[in-house]
Amino acid sequence: MRVVIQRVSSASVTIDNQIKSSINTGVMILLGIEEADTKEDIDWLCRKIANMRIFPDEGGVMNKSLIEVDGEALVVSQFTLHASTKKGNRPSYIQAAKPDTAIPLYESFVKELQTHLSHEVKTGEFGADMKVSLVNDGPVTILVDTKNKQ
């Protein structure tokens, strides 16, 4: 499982010219799922995201977590995070999970993240053509891959 976590002051997802979800202070999470991902990956990653100290404290030091700032989360499925660009100019997405595997894991990820936060976890729509807007605060952008936990 791979994520791009962006600290945001606001973010939204629009589908067919309609805003589906929006958040204020919190994190925008682009979630890439591969066939080998498991519930263990979900649990570890959700704990990591909820407790990652990427928000400023009173002194301006990144020392507070999403939980501590009572922040929101917006999760968007992004199979392109598993793009392989080793050969040629067209990325291969063979490592990305197929929908029958990815959808249940995506839904489980959202539910698990919700157990850590006081706000409803907002989402995009799996497989939809989405327009994602955000104001990256900092900017702070962090990549996490559950296959590289060490």
Q: For residue 36, which phi and psi values (nearest 5 degrees)?
A: -80, -5
Catalytic residue among 14, 18, 55, 78: 78
Which member of 38, 80, 115, 141 is catalytic?
A: 80
CA distances from 115 to 67, 83, 108, 121, 143 (A): 11, 30, 11, 9, 22
Active site residue 6: no
Tokens (6 digits) for 30: 């682009």
Nearest to 103 by CA among 10, 37, 55: 37
Cβ pair 64, 25 in contact under 8 A: no
Q: Which of 79, 109, 123, 146 is catalytic?
A: 79
**Whether 115 is catalytic:** no
Q: What are φ and ψ of residue 128, in 5° steps?
A: -80, 160
Q: Is 79 annotated as catalytic? A: yes
- Rounded CA separation 27/80 (Å): 19
Q: Take residue 50 and report the two structure tokens written for it.
A: 């909820």
Q: Which residues are catalytic?
A: 78-80
